[in-house]
Structure formats: structure tokens, C-alpha cells
Amino acid sequence: MALRKMKEEEAVKDIKMPKRKPIKKSTPSQIVHNEQFHDAIRLQAYYNYLYRITHNTHGDQLSDWLEAEKHILDSRKRKKASAQ
């Protein structure tokens, strides 16, 4: 048993792990933007949930969230396109 454990440890040492990329530090304005973005998605997901239960349609929390993300991202793209 001890021999097997030793071989496993040696095998783990031979595995080369890819180097990690450095993590970018977020600026305070990016953090606020991300929080606002997350809050907008959360609110839209809640509205999707309310619509789903009042109209008795199929779905779950994940589908509500993903649909909310899509809606928010599409609306931001439209705003950027109209601003240009």
C-alpha cells in the first residue's frame, strides 16, 4: 500500500501544470459596473420568473437567469449601436 502511494505521488510530480496567467486587478469603477450589471441581470431574472409562474410556462431558475443575461446584453448592444 505504501509503495502504491509513493508511485502515485511520483506520477503527480511528473505532471506539468500550465502556467497561470496573472489576474488583472479591477478598478473601483469596473467593480461598480460589474455590480450594476449583476443587479440588472438579477432583477430581469426575477421578472422572468414572475412571468413564468403567472403564465404557467416551462422553465427553471437557470433558464430565467440565462434569458435575463441575454436580454441585458442585447439591450446594451442596442444602446451602444444607437449612440454611435
At 33-44, the pLDDT tens digits run 888 899 999 999
d(CA 73, CA 52): 21
> Model pTM greater than 0.75?
no
Average pLDDT along the chain:
81
At 49-63, the pLDDT tens digits run 999 999 999 999 999
**Cβ-contact 36, 55 below 8 angstroms:** no
Q: Please give the share of the chain, as a percent, with pLDDT higher than 90.
A: 45
d(CA 10, CA 3): 11
Residue 21 clears pLDDT 70, i.e. is over it? yes
Q: Which distant-in-sequence residues (6+ apart) come within 8 Å of 44 by Cβ?
A: 67, 68, 71, 72
